[in-house]
Amino acid sequence: MKQIKFRAWVGNEFLYCDVLQDDHHAIKKFWVAVSSAGMVPEQFTGLYDSAKWHDLPEADRLSWIELNAGKIGSSEWPGREIYEGDLLSHKYGGGLVECEFENGEFFTGDVSVLDDSLRIIGHIHENPVAKEKV
């Protein structure tokens, strides 16, 4: 089943919402927080970056294990979820691209969203200087 997930930068952190998994109260709380902060939610692309389990900071590994109870670390690790607004590096030209959603599809400039070398290096809200380089 397709995942329908959103996140939004509120204050100095991301809030997340999984439309198919969260209860009605949690979904409403997400949308109220996003609206009152004046932010636009960003959608999960359904794709994952090429980050390797052993390259992740320990805090990221522990967070993933906690959120995915019953899965065992690196053997189940798909990579980081790619959302709109993520800044991605790639092996073609070594530049940065931003994941955007327009006209019903996700795109990353001239680089395919299916490129298996894409790695999340930041986000437009966390790193506006890098956003200017895109």
Q: Which domains does the chain have, with CATH numbers?
A: 1-40 (no CATH), 45-133 (2.30.30)
Cα gap 9→115, rounded to integer Å:
26
Residue 132 confidence (pLDDT) above 60: no
* Backbone angles phi and psi of 42, in degrees to 5: -110, 140
The tens digit of pLDDT for each residue in 71-113 reads 665 667 888 889 999 998 887 766 788 888 887 778 777 776 6
Contact 79, 51 (CB under 8 A): yes
Average pLDDT estimate for 8-34: 88
Contact 26, 41 (CB under 8 A): no
Predicted confidence at residue 83, as pLDDT, reads 92
Q: Among 101, 99, 104, which residue's Cα sits nearest to residue 88?
A: 99
- Between 12-21, 35-44, 84-93, 103-112, the lowest mean confidence (pLDDT) is in 103-112
Residue 127 confidence (pLDDT) above 80: no
Average pLDDT estimate for 34-51: 88
Residue 131 confidence (pLDDT) above 60: no
Full-prediction pTM beyond 0.95? Answer: no
* Backbone angles phi and psi of 54, in degrees to 5: -70, -15
C-alpha of 118 from chain center: 12
Across the chain, what does the average pLDDT equal? 81
Predicted confidence at residue 126, as pLDDT, reads 77
Residue 54, Cβ density class (10 Å: 0-12 exposed, 13-18 middle, ≥19 buried): exposed
Cα gap 118→50, rounded to integer Å:
6
Q: What percent of the chain has pLDDT over 70?
A: 82
